[in-house]
Every structure is written in structure tokens, then in C-alpha cells.
Structure 1
Amino acid sequence: MEGYGTDTEGDEPETPLLQRGGDKVARAPACCSARYNLAALACFAYFVVYSLRVNLSVAMVEMLNRTHHQAGDNHSDSVCPSHTGPPPRSSNHTASVYDWDSETQGWILGSFFYGYILTQIPGGYLAGRYGPKWIMGFGLLGTVIFTLLTPTAADLGVGYLIAVRVLEGLGEGVTFPTMYSMWASWAPPMERSRLLTICLTGAQLGTVIALPLSGEICYYYNWTYVFYVFGAVGLVWFLLWACLVSNTPSVHPRISEREKLYITSSLRNELSSSVDHIPWAAILTSGPLWAIVVAHFSYNWTFYTLLTLLPTYMNNILGFSIQQNGYLSALPYIGCGLVGLLGGQLADFLRETCHYRTVTVRKAFTLIGMIGPAVFLVAVGYTGCNYTLAVTFLTISSSLGGLSGSGFNINHLDIAPSYAGILLGITNTFATIPGMVGPVIARALTTNNTIAEWQVVFYIAAGINVFGALVYSVLGRGTVQPWAVQQSYSK
């Protein structure tokens, strides 16, 4: 199969790129560097991306007309005894509510991904050809604008709301491919795990803050403010991104010469001299790429199921109010973000200091980061109404998942840095399918909101996770593929 070449674990270079060929370039300091400033802005970008993505999950609980099944002052009937939250300071619940059945809710929650899937590959291609800065900036700005229009669309009808969510997805679809394209020019090979996990931690941070804050906003004001507040934050990010970011180190106006030399020298032997010709046949028949595709799809099935439906599970099964719901739904993502950040440091340490092969580190982190969450996710279904144990298992499950950020999730940059944006576009296209169908299937399986129904949902997600981890452990690779460079370095 094309793409393998001679890429086996034994083929990885024993010395870092910076020391090959007798050329030694001193590492540029990380503090206040342009590459770590970029990582911070990218982290903020993904904070915005995920806050805009998850706020509907919490707002949905308050957007529904609960006249026919309301049990208390601020929560609906649940399988487990309900928990009483603190009395509200305000009763400004003047926003509209809607009569959406379970199936309609599933389609609304999944509609975002119908737009999101369409711009993955185009986003990676355009970023590689024209530069990632403005593709990323305008894509996310479009999402922000449609987020601000969400309350109006909901009042106009389900069709309008779904259309706006699809358009939001179109804008967000370019964000991951363009960012990977950006890192192809900015991330030294031995700092990839650190820089990428700082960047990706923004996704967890956005979820962690958006879930409880959305609950607070719904509780003390009304659900429309959820979209206005996070939309305004997105506008602030766009202004910072437009003013402070450059496509490559060579055109950055404030980067030091030392850092520029460090980055460009470290990437000299890994990047193709031109991306005008894209080896599509080699890319699409590459075994290592398809290993990432399967792992990415599998991981996202669990991730998106929890991302969109965890607030519903907290409300309908565990009986937590909208305010408590947001805080408890955020706990798994706090753990995921922290473990992911620490995992990035550990992964680069193992590769650079302990001289573990990249492929070994990627596979180990992927296996732990996917099989571990599967085990604890299944366990959640058997905790009954033990709220503490249920939240603990959900938190452990998501926390272990953070390790996959230094596993398959970064592997695009290992096997083809010149085409990382395109590769991410391809894998994320497949990995978006769970976001489209996962919530619909899960809501269809939980029409009665029983614990037994949710056990089935957890079993399906866990089984898919284990399958993806095993496929990646067989087919994954850690070196630049022959088709990704015009001239390989000598080994």
C-alpha cells in the first residue's frame, strides 16, 4: 500500500533533526516566544470554537416547553431523585420555549456537523495554498456571527435554527485543518506535543467554562444570553488574531532571529519545497493515514456523544438542575484538559530525552487514551443513582481521553507535516460523522430516558473506541512518509 515506503519502527532517526548533518542550532527560549504566543492565541481560538459548540447543549434544557413533564421549579422529572439548587436571584425567564420532541432535539444538536463536515478538506487545502491565518480567522468569525443570530432563528422555527447551526458548522469546519497547517510551519518536531496540546487544551477549557457559565446564564437570566455572551467573546478573539498572528515565522514582524532560525532549521528536512502538487493518490492510499482516520472517528463517537448529551443525561437521569448541571458536566473536561496538557509534556520528554520512538509514544498514548475511557464509560451505566460515582467515572473516562491528544491526534504532523492541514481535513471529515449521527442515534435509543437505554448508548461508544485503538496500534506510523517530501534526509 502506498504511504508505507520503508516506514517501520526501526526506521526512525536516532537523533533529533536539529543535530543531523552536523548542523546544531540552539533551541530558542520558550518564554515570550512567537511560537508559544501563537499557541496561546490558538488555545483561545479553540476556547471560542468549543464554547460556541457546546452552549446549545446546555441551553437546550431551558429552550424546551416542559409544561407536560415539569416536576419542580427548575428541573424536569428524572430517573433519580432530583436535587434542589439554590434559590434564584432573578426570575427573568422571558425567552421563548419550544415543543420539540426527542427526535427533533437530536436533529438540532447534530445539525452543526452537517456544515462542519463540508469544509474540512477545503479548509486544509486553502490553508496550504493561501496561508492559514485568514482562512482560520474568517471561518471562526462566520461562526460567531451565526451564533449571535441563533435566538432569532429559533423563534422563526426549527428549520431556521437547523440552517443557522449548519452555517455555524461551515465556519468552524476550517478551524482544525487550518491550525494544523499553521503548526506545520511553526512547530519544531521535538516540541509538537507541547505546542499542540497547549492549543488543543483550549477545546477543553472552552467546554469547562461554557458548560457551567451557560447554566448560570440560563438560571439567572435566560437562554438567549448564552449565545450573545459567547458570541461577543468570539469577536474579541478575532481582533487579537487579526493583529497578532502571521502565517509563517519568516513573515512574523516581532519574532527574534534566533527563534526564526531554530524553527526553520528544525523543519528544513521535513517539509516539501512546494505544496502546489498534492500527491492525492499516495495520501488516500496511505495506511498510516487510515489508521488515524479510524482512531479519530472512534474517539469522536464517544467525545461528541458526551459533548452534546451529557447535560441531558445529568438532567433526565441524575436529576440535577440546570445550574448544577453545567458545573457537573464540566468536570470531565477539566480532567481531560489537565491530563492532555501534562500528556503533551510527557510525550515530548519520552521522545527527546528518553529517545523513545515517536510511533511507540503515539501508540501507547492512543491505547491508554481510548481503551481507558471505554472501560469507565461502561461503568457509568452501572452506577445507578450513585451520583458521586457516576460523575467520578465520567470524569476519569474523559480525563484518560486527554492522552490521545499526544497520540493519534498529533500524528498528522509526524507523517506528513507539509500536508498536515489536508490530512487533518480528511480525518476530521470522517471524525465528524459521529457528531452528525451520534446524538440522533443516542436520542432515538433513549426515548424513555431509562438507565438501561443509556447503558446501550455507553456500550456502543465504548466498543467503537476499543476498535479504533486496536486498528491504530496495528497500522499507525511515526515517521515522515516518502510521498510527503521531495527529498528525504539520509539515514
Structure 2
Amino acid sequence: MYLLYIIQGVVFPAMHGVWSKWAPPNESTRLTSYVISGAYVGTVIGYPMCGWLAKNYDWPSTFYVPGFIAIIWCAVWLTTIAETPGEDKSITKEELKYIIDSIGPTDDKKLSVSNYPWKQIFTSMPVWSITFSTVCENWGFFTLLTQLPTFMHDVLKFDIGKGSLLSALPYSVMAVALQFSGIFIDWVRKTNIFTTTQVRKISTCGAFFLQSICMFSAGNCETGLGSIIFLTLTAGLVSFSVTGYCVNPLDIAPQYASIILGIANTFGTIPGIVSPLLTGFIVQHQSPEEWKWVFIISSSLYFLGGLLYAIFGSGERQHWAEIKTTSKNDFVDEPLMRNNDIVPLSQCE
């Protein structure tokens, strides 16, 4: 299992590396949200599927079937995906020109690891705000992922079949909402009413504060239906938080986006280890009072994450991530990746 977690840990950072070369800035939010939604679609399918497999077959089948599906998907990926638009054999000239004109200059030099601006990355408060936001969101996510079936069985008294279906409900809402949240956020950016920094903070902080309220309410709700509604709302709001902090590396340092997300996800795995252990320590007798504290801790972290991102988050490209021209030492801003607005393509030609 640990090897599986290590392998899966590189998936999202790798995707940010791809989007840094593929995603036009005015489409980066929606494209990233589409990718992230796939993880939740897998959860939606996996919960009832594994529940059905465990009930009707031996438990090893819950590993064999997803593993076989992963092999098929890997073959599809390797035969269809290109690292850059220029390497894609199926892209049209118009599409290639649009992407290049949108993204502007990119740093294609193959830097060695020692040449990365590590000091600037690790001392950047915007980077740490992304990292801490990842930790806080993942705490709530892993709490739901690992403990929701147990909570539904012990407190709400659902059997394994019904519990598996209801456990998938929050992720169903999350997967659907992500299809629209990215489009909405990109539309807001196009209006130029808000700066990129303001958009990212509204998305992240607004979602975190509302998630804090919903998680607290879920733990203190008197009815099972009410708890499910609040937990579902908590999950649905993830669709807006990730359009903030999760897309943010593409704003502040697109050429290092995969590195930044890798750092954030490294710290973001801590909740996956600590949250189940802490829940097991708190919940000794499977009582509603014990479960309240599980939700209060998640609620508090959501609030703290939103507060710190409001203070330290940024949508500005960082000085250590600027790209120099080849003829001068002047720094340049990409046509559609300027910090405070998005310029229509027609104005860049």
C-alpha cells in the first residue's frame, strides 16, 4: 500500500507540469478542475463498486479490479498524451498558435535540480499558503474518505451496502460541481472585475469558511439526514476551494508549478496519516459526542486555512519565476499571464 501511495503522489504534480505548457491562462482553472474531478469520479464509482465486490466476492477483488482498470487507463494515457503542444501529432495549426500566443514565452531549458530556485521557493509565503491550504483541505478530505463509512455505520446505523452508496454521495456532488466551478471562475477572471489574487482568495477563503461551518454543523446535527446534507455541502465546496489554491501554482510560478504542488502534496499526505490515528484515539466508544470532536477539529482547520490564505495568498507571478528574454536581461510578462488581468488574444497580435 505504501508503494501505491508513493506512485500516486506524483500524479497531480505531473499534471500541473503538463498544464503549465498546455493550458491558456484564461482556461487554466477549468482545465485543472476537470482533471481534479476525475479523482472524485473514481471515488464515486469506487465506493459502491468495492462495497459490492466485498459483499459478493472475497476482499482481494477490491484491489484486483481497480488495479486492472488502472492498467488499461495507463495504456490509453501513454498512447494519447504529449508533453507539449508542439509534440502532439493531432493538434491543428490554429490550436497550436492559440496556445503559444496565449501562454507566451516559456522556459524550456532543462534545468538540473540544483539550479532550481529552492531557497526562494521554500521562503515564499504564497507557496506556504498553498501548502497549508492543501493540508487543511486534505484533513477534511481524508477524514471523510476514511471515516465517513464508519460514522454512517456506528452513529447513523446504516448497513454496509447503504452506507457505501451514501458515502459516495458527497463525492458525486464534488465531481459534478467541479465541472461548473472552473468555468465560473475563469469567467470571473475574464471580466477583469477582480485581480487574479482576489479571485483565488475568494475561491479558497470563501469555500474554507463555509466548509468550516458545514463540518461543525454536521457534527452537531440532531438527525442523520441533516448530517449527510452538511457533509455533502462540505464536499461540494471543495469544487471552489481547489479553483483557488490548487490552481494557484500556475499563477505564481508556472514553470515550477509541478514542484510547488509536489511540495504541497508532500505535506498534504500528513493528514492522511494523522487524521485516522487521531480519530481512532478520540472515538473509543463510537458515541455521537466523540464524533463531534472529530468534526470540530476539521472545522477548525478549515477556518485556520482560510484565514492564513487570506493573509499570505497571492495570484502575482513571483519575481524568482520571471522569464528573461534571450536578448536582454529584462524580465517579461506573458501576453495572457499578466498578474492583474487577462488580455484578449486579439490585443496581443
User: Are 1:340 and 2:178 counterparts?
Assistant: yes
Q: Quote the residue 2:344 is aligned against.
A: none
1:211 to 43, 47, 50: 47
In the TM superposition, what are the counterparts of 1:133-144 in structure 2 within 5 Å? none
In structure 2, distance between residues paired with 1:356 and 1:464: 27
1:377 to 215, 218, 222: 215
Cα displacement (A) at 1:340 = 2.2
User: Are 1:418 and 2:275 counterparts?
Assistant: no
1:358 to 178, 196, 201: 196
Question: Residues 275, 369 of structure 1: CA spacing in aligned structure 2 closer, same or farther, 3 A cutoff?
Answer: farther
In structure 1, distance between residues paired with 2:55 and 2:309: 43
SS at match of 2:297: helix
Cα deviations across residues 332-375 of structure 1 (Å, max 9, x unaligned)? Answer: 11111222221101100000134421111110011121111111
In structure 2, distance between residues paired with 1:252 and 1:393: 44
In structure 1, distance between residues paired with 2:85 and 2:13: 19
User: Are 1:489 and 2:332 counterparts?
Assistant: yes
Q: Quote the residue 2:127 is aligned against.
A: 289
In structure 2, distance between residues paired with 1:358 and 1:234: 36
Q: Quote the residue 2:109 is aligned against.
A: 274
Q: Quote the residue 2:11 is aligned against.
A: 175
In structure 1, distance between residues paired with 2:296 and 2:144: 13
What amino acid does structure 1 have at the position aligned with 2:107? Answer: S
2:236 to 383, 399, 418: 399
**Are 1:375 and 1:462, in contact at CA under 8 Å, matched by a contact in 2?**
yes
**Are 2:201 and 2:309, in contact at CA under 8 Å, matched by a contact in 1?**
yes
User: Are 1:470 and 2:307 counterparts?
Assistant: yes
SS at match of 1:439: helix
**Are 2:322 and 2:332, in contact at CA under 8 Å, matched by a contact in 1?**
no
User: Are 1:452 and 2:294 counterparts?
Assistant: no
**Are 1:376 and 1:394, in contact at CA under 8 Å, matched by a contact in 2?**
yes
In structure 2, distance between residues paired with 1:341 and 1:275: 34
SS at match of 1:381: helix
What amino acid does structure 2 have at the position aligned with 1:397? Answer: T
The alignment's TM-score, normalised by the length of structure 2, stands at 0.90
Q: Quote the residue 2:29 is aligned against.
A: 193
**Are 1:370 and 1:404, in contact at CA under 8 Å, matched by a contact in 2?**
yes
What amino acid does structure 1 have at the position aligned with 2:302? Answer: N
**Are 1:292 and 1:472, in contact at CA under 8 Å, matched by a contact in 2?**
yes
Cα deviations across residues 282-324 of structure 1 (Å, max 9, x unaligned)? Answer: 1111111111111111111111111111111111211111111
What amino acid does structure 1 have at the position aligned with 2:4? Answer: E
Cα displacement (A) at 1:218 = 1.8
Cα displacement (A) at 1:480 = 1.4
Unmatched 5+ stretches in structure 1: 1-164
In structure 2, distance between residues paired with 1:439 and 1:275: 40
What amino acid does structure 2 have at the position aligned with 1:400? Answer: L
In structure 2, distance between residues paired with 1:215 and 1:456: 27
In structure 2, distance between residues paired with 1:312 and 1:334: 19
Cα RMSD for the two superposed structures: 1.4
What amino acid does structure 2 have at the position aligned with 1:272? Answer: D
What amino acid does structure 2 have at the position aligned with 1:286? Answer: S
What amino acid does structure 2 have at the position aligned with 1:336? Answer: M
**Are 2:323 and 2:332, in contact at CA under 8 Å, matched by a contact in 1?**
no
**Are 1:218 and 1:322, in contact at CA under 8 Å, matched by a contact in 2?**
no
What amino acid does structure 1 have at the position aligned with 2:300? Answer: G
Instruction: Give the paired residue count.
Output: 325
The alignment's TM-score, normalised by the length of structure 1, stands at 0.64
Cα displacement (A) at 1:275 = 4.8
Which runs of 4 or more aligned residues in structure 1 lie more than 3 Å from their structure 2 counterparts after TM superposition? Answer: none
**Are 2:33 and 2:239, in contact at CA under 8 Å, matched by a contact in 1?**
no
SS at match of 1:407: helix
User: Are 1:437 and 2:280 counterparts?
Assistant: no
Cα displacement (A) at 1:489 = 2.5
Percent identity over the alignment? 35
Cα displacement (A) at 1:213 = 1.5
